[in-house]
Amino acid sequence: MEKATNLDPAIASELFAPRQNNEWSGLLKLTWKITPQHKLKFSFNRSLTSSQNTRALQTTLEFEEAGPGYPFRFQDILDNFNVLTHDINQQSLSWTQTLGPKAFYELHVSRFFTNLRSQVGDLHWTEYVKPEDIVTVPPGGIPDDQYFRDPRGDFTTVTPDGFFDVGSGDTWHDHYVEEFIFKGDVSYIPNQMHNLKAGFEMGFQEMQMLEIIKPWFGGLGLNNDIYRVNPRAGAFYVQDRITSGGLIVNIGLRYDYWVPGQFVVDALDRFRNDPNLSAEDREIWQRRHDAYFDETFGFLGSRVKGRLMPRLGISHPISDHQVFFFSYGHFSKRPKPQFVYTQLGASSARSTFQVKGNPNLNPETTVSYELGLKHQFTADDVLTVTLYNRDIFDYVTTKNVRARGRQSDFLTYINLDFARVRGIEVEYKKRSRGFISGSISGTFAIATGKNSSPQDNLLVFAGEIEEEPIKENFLRWDRPFQLNANINFFFGEDKGPKVFGLKIPDNWNLNVHWFLESGRRYTPFIVGPSGNFVLDNQNPFSEVSRFWSTVDLNFEKYFNIFGLRFTFFTEVKNLFDRKNDTLINSFTGRAYRTGDFIIVDGQPTDPLVFNRTEPGRPIVDPFNPARFRAPRQVLIGTSIGW
């Protein structure tokens, strides 16, 4: 795998980017116990990452894991590709005061700031050049197999190799978020039966987005997204923990509110009064304006969305060794900013398939039910079985809006779809008795819905997917089976074990973790009416690829020297170097391996043979090294504590 000569982070010094992947972090915590009743805590946390991994820009994914971020087609000119630098900075201050034996309160104030820049070197977007795969003559001349007969004539030419030789990445991106959060809660225990708690949370944000796609088209590129917004959000809640004998009931009520901000009101006013739009188009935006004001309420000059969410949890012993538990709750999640604000600014884009944000999106709501039984075999052995169901409402998707006049059709985000997850989880835990402890848990679950992500309908309109599904199907992010097994060995001071009569060193810890999971879902190929292989879009994501399996090992050895505690550690990720597939060949159901066939022009084809016989259109995607998850990694380090 090729490497860039050097990384030049746009928002940080080159000193912080000596390698291809760079991660820096720092943490400071201070606690001042002024009196037994008063405590002040301060924390500071900052991290800085810099690499050419584009996963950080895959921001429209809600539930599924981001895809590989290696810029494969730029592997010969990585110096011409984007460097992504992510700066996260957070501070918090907390105050706790005990009011008496039955009550105390806590106040928190925090600031969170994050900035992500994706840029080619120090280039301005107007300096970007379209990437091209051109033919270059090697010093030793052109090999015979690099010539081919052009099907449009009888002359010969030289074949490309499928990788870019000149040009730059296609994105200039910068966004930041700054948020101030104020939280407070008070706890009151009037008697042994009740434990009351009430509180609030208020967040004030400033977000700015500037993204230019394919800047070589001139101006602000083929597509762009520019906005600066000031949303606010928060919550008020009250809860009570009721204990009566063995019965425990947790009951609560939470009210979430969200203020999208003045930006969306101004955008709706601008579109519904835009003289460049036809009367029909202005009417579309007038209806969106009216819907926004109908579905929000005014408070202190702002438009507010709110949602009330109940929570209930019950735990009750049914025997000396068994406990039944049940929970029910509503949970709210605000839409991602780009679903609300994208393309609502005054700038224009040239792309055919534009997606405009929807100021009237509602928060996504999950209604969750859990029912379970916990059985205690011994004081150290516990088995838990849980059945659960999660219904996700107001699931965001895209919809085509047919416009008239000077404005072309566009897509917008709407709350239309739903998703459902139901499953069973079994967990067995063994607490430490001596030197060994561990746990094992397994989950079987099914996730279904109409669309896996808001981008699915966009692919339909772009012609990359044949049609929008009309029935409930498996979702792309569904992983039916998961298994976690963990075993830990700890030997404290003077507790070293004997092996074959020999005492080995003490003060060490060994942890082994095994993770097994179903592979990615994919849509398989079937034989179509014409005899060619086509994707089975009537049953999307109906197949599951080869399972993932990873064993991680962590070893720590402790030393006490001059009052300091030194820890030397070795961490091995993916101990057995297993190749876990992440880019799935829909014909074989696994990542490409030498000898596998792929579908080309509707027929099974060996890409190696194809590249020799049809050199004018090379196929390179199956050979992407990022088609597998990370190989074995070994980390060695030390830490000092006091």
Q: What is the pLDDT of residues 30-44, one digit of tens each?
A: 999 999 999 999 999
Question: Can you name the residues that pair with 171 across neighbouring β-strands?
Answer: 213
Question: Can you name the residues that pair with 424 across neighbouring β-strands?
Answer: 387, 444
**Calpha distance 332→258 (Å, rounded):** 11
pLDDT winner (highest mean) among 57-61, 77-81, 560-564: 77-81
**Calpha distance 419→422 (Å, rounded):** 10
Q: How confident is the model at residue 402 (pLDDT cuts 50, 70, 90)?
A: low
The mean pLDDT value for 267-286 works out to 85
Beta strands in 279-409 (DSSP E): 297-299, 302-317, 322-333, 355-356, 364-378, 381-401
The mean pLDDT value for 459-484 works out to 75
Number of alpha carbons in the 13 Å side-chain half-sphere of residue 216 = 9
CA 353 vs CA 219, 222, 268, 412: distances in Å? 18, 11, 21, 10
DSSP of 345-372 = SS-----SS-EE--TTPPPEEEEEEEEE
Amino acid at 68: P
The mean pLDDT value for 13-20 works out to 81
What pLDDT shows up at residue 135? 72
More confident residue, 147 or 574: 574
pLDDT in tens, 543-554: 999 999 999 999
With 90 as the cut, is the pLDDT of residue 453 above it?
no
**Calpha distance 367→389 (Å, rounded):** 8
Task: Write out the two tokens for 12.
Answer: 């940080």
pTM score, two decimals? 0.85
Lowest average pLDDT, out of 263-267, 291-295, 456-460, 482-486, goes to 456-460
What pLDDT shows up at residue 374? 96
With 60 as the cut, is the pLDDT of residue 62 above it?
no
Task: Write out the two tokens for 228.
Answer: 């600066």
Task: Write out the two tokens for 188.
Answer: 């009151």
With 60 as the cut, is the pLDDT of residue 13 above it?
yes
What pLDDT shows up at residue 382? 95
What pLDDT shows up at residue 472? 84
Mean pLDDT of the chain: 87
pLDDT in tens, 341-396: 988 876 666 665 678 888 899 999 999 999 999 999 988 899 999 999 999 998 88
What is the residue whose two structure tokens read 């019950």? 314
Instruction: Report how far Cα 246 is from the mean position of its chain's Cα atoms.
Output: 40
Q: How far apart are the first and last CA of the chain?
A: 42
What pLDDT shows up at residue 155? 43
Task: Write out the two tokens for 308.
Answer: 């009330």
With 70 as the cut, is the pLDDT of residue 59 above it?
no
**Calpha distance 595→256 (Å, rounded):** 55
Phi-psi region of 507 (alpha: psi -120 to 50; beta: other; left: phi over 0): left
Do residues 383 and 428 lie in contact, with contact meaning Cβ atoms separated by under 8 Å? yes
CB 164: neighbour CB atoms within 10 A? Answer: 23
- What SS3 state is found at 468? coil
**Calpha distance 390→366 (Å, rounded):** 6
**Calpha distance 38→34 (Å, rounded):** 5
What pLDDT shows up at residue 154? 45
What pLDDT shows up at residue 457? 62
Amino acid at 340: V
Query: What are the residues whose beta carbons fall under 8 Å from the beta carbon of 238, sequence distance 6 or more?
Result: 196, 197, 198, 252, 253
What is the residue whose two structure tokens read 């092996």? 499
Amino acid at 234: G
**Calpha distance 127→4 (Å, rounded):** 20
pLDDT in tens, 185-204: 999 999 999 999 999 999 99
Number of alpha carbons in the 13 Å side-chain half-sphere of residue 1 = 9
Query: What are the residues whose beta carbons fall under 8 Å from the beta carbon of 395, sequence distance 6 or more?
Result: 364, 415, 416, 417, 418, 419, 449, 451
**Calpha distance 290→282 (Å, rounded):** 12
**Calpha distance 530→167 (Å, rounded):** 40
With 50 as the cut, is the pLDDT of residue 153 above it?
no
What pLDDT shows up at residue 478? 92
**Calpha distance 220→226 (Å, rounded):** 10
With 90 as the cut, is the pLDDT of residue 434 above it?
no
- What SS3 state is found at 287? helix
Task: Write out the two tokens for 125.
Answer: 């977007």
The mean pLDDT value for 419-447 works out to 92
With 70 as the cut, is the pLDDT of residue 24 above it?
yes
**Sign of dihedral through CA atoms 294, 298, 304, 309?**
negative
What pLDDT shows up at residue 280? 80
Residue ranges of domains in the chain: 1-131+166-221, 237-387+394-415+427-442+449-472
Beta strands in 500-539 (DSSP E): 502-503, 508-517, 521-522, 525-527, 533-535
Amino acid at 107: L
CB 416: neighbour CB atoms within 10 A? Answer: 14
Q: What is the CA radius of gyration of the chain?
A: 29
- What SS3 state is found at 216? helix
The DSSP bridge pattern shows strands 598-600 and 564-573 to be unpaired
Q: How confident is the model at residue 146 (pLDDT cuts 50, 70, 90)?
A: low
**Calpha distance 422→447 (Å, rounded):** 7
CB 117: neighbour CB atoms within 10 A? Answer: 21
Q: How confident is the model at residue 142 (pLDDT cuts 50, 70, 90)?
A: low
Do residues 336 and 59 lie in contact, with contact meaning Cβ atoms separated by under 8 Å? yes
Q: How confident is the model at residue 640 (pLDDT cuts 50, 70, 90)?
A: confident
With 70 as the cut, is the pLDDT of residue 442 above it?
yes
